[in-house]
Amino acid sequence: MRARIIDRVDLLKVVDLLRREHEVIAPFYGRGRDTAFDVVTDANRDQIQLHLPNPYYPPKRYVFPHMQRLMRYTLGARPTVEADADARKRAIFGIRSCDVAGLFMLDRHFLGGEHLDVYYRNLRASLFLVNVVCTDREQDIDEDCFCVCADSGPAAREHFDLQLMDLGDAIMAVAGSPAGEALFGAPIFKKAGPEHVQQRRAILAEVRKSFKKATSWYAATTRLVSQGEVSEETWEEVGRRCLECGGCSFVCPTCNCFTVTDRKVGEKEEEVERVRLWDSCALSGFTRMAGGHNPRKAVHDRRNRRFFRKLAHYYIERQLSVICVGCGRCVNVCHGDIGMPSVVEILRRRSLEQVAR
Ligand code: SF4
Ligand code: SF4
């Protein structure tokens, strides 16, 4: 393990090091227990916290913005096209392990297939990730978190550049990439000993016991969804509880659906920009076609897509895991109580009831 130790008082010097070359993003408290990612400035730098509830609005927006201009073009006798190329160097300080895993899933989707998404690649290639391990049971771990079941946390094993873990009297830093290791040249990083590694193991063993939510039925549910064994009645039951707000998709670090639209720039008809926006299978227009026909108009027909996309073997084969990292955000935002663990439970229970009939 490429590990070092940082004195607690030097923690924010990691941010200062990164700010030399990057726009640094970190999570901050808002009102009450509300938290949000924001750009670090001289004014807010001292308010960065190591422990705080993971923001609902996930950091995926720094590589897949909720609204992103793809190009501008002008119509007329001499048409012009100007592609957007935002490739600024950014670092996210304090990204949680579930969200690191979420970004990896987005990587596989946008970069791992036949068609590479250049807009995503431009933002992703210059992104530096400082993962903070969730160790504070009061601040970091929400009662709806279940990263332990999704195998994404509480400590990420890969896909970060630098990982920080609070050992109490000091912070352990682990390098996950050559860029992360390059930071170890700074004097704030001191040699770690076997006692620190032992301390890390002991803390993680304790933290793993503190998760309240658990879902151990992924595997069974994957089989049911993949083999079409979930009855129409059960999907309707799930659909009836959905208010079609789209919240679950928008807060999900792994959801990646978008729509593309053109719009005028200012008042001139001939100046147009093409933008992409987050979309959600929960929204009624998601499957509406140009002629107006909507093959999945009923809400349950769209709700089952969400869970097929996340749990079916067809997708797991391509993305190497269930497409859920256990962040618990959909549990938190859903007014119908059909976040991932609830649906997994409904599908499993109804299938057992069918067998018992
Ligand atoms: S958050 Fe709940 S109610 Fe809203 S779209 Fe998602 S499943 Fe439906
Ligand atoms: S499905 Fe829910 S719990 Fe899973 S990653 Fe998405 S928002 Fe998080």
Would you kindly state where each structural domain of the chain is located, as residue ranges?
3-208, 218-356
pLDDT value of residue 140: 93
Does the pLDDT at position 214 exceed 70? Answer: no
Cβ(316) – ligand 1 distance below 6 Å: no
Tens digits of per-residue pLDDT, 163-206?
Answer: 999 999 899 999 999 999 999 999 999 999 999 999 999 999 99
Q: In this prediction, what percent of the chain has a pLDDT beyond 90?
A: 71
By C-alpha distance, which of 31, 4, 81 is closest to 270?
A: 81
Q: How far is CA 198 from CA 83, 172, 192, 282, in A?
A: 51, 12, 11, 46
> How many angstroms is it from 99 CA to the middle of ligand 1?
20
User: How do strand 67-74 and strand 3-7 relate by DSSP bridges?
Assistant: unpaired
Cα–ligand 2 centroid distance for 289 (angstroms): 28
φ/ψ of 20, rounded to 5, equals -60, -35
In short, whether 241's Cβ falls inside 6 Å of ligand 1 is no
Q: Band of the pLDDT at 321, cuts 50, 70, 90?
A: confident
| C-alpha span between 100 and 110 (Å, rounded) | 15
Beta bridge partners of 240: none
Mean local confidence (pLDDT), 273-295: 92
Q: How far apart are CA 357 and CA 349, in angstroms?
A: 12
- Give residue 215's pLDDT: 62
Mean pLDDT of the chain: 92
pTM for this prediction: 0.94
Lowest mean pLDDT segment, chosen from 59-73, 265-279, 322-336: 265-279
Measure Cα distances from 300 to 231, 239, 263, 284 in Å.
12, 4, 32, 11
Q: Which residues line ligand 2 (CB under 6 A)?
A: 251-254, 310, 324-330, 339-340
To test the pocket of ligand 2, the residue of 54, 310, 340, 342 to mutate (highest count of ligand atoms within 8 Å of its CB) is 340
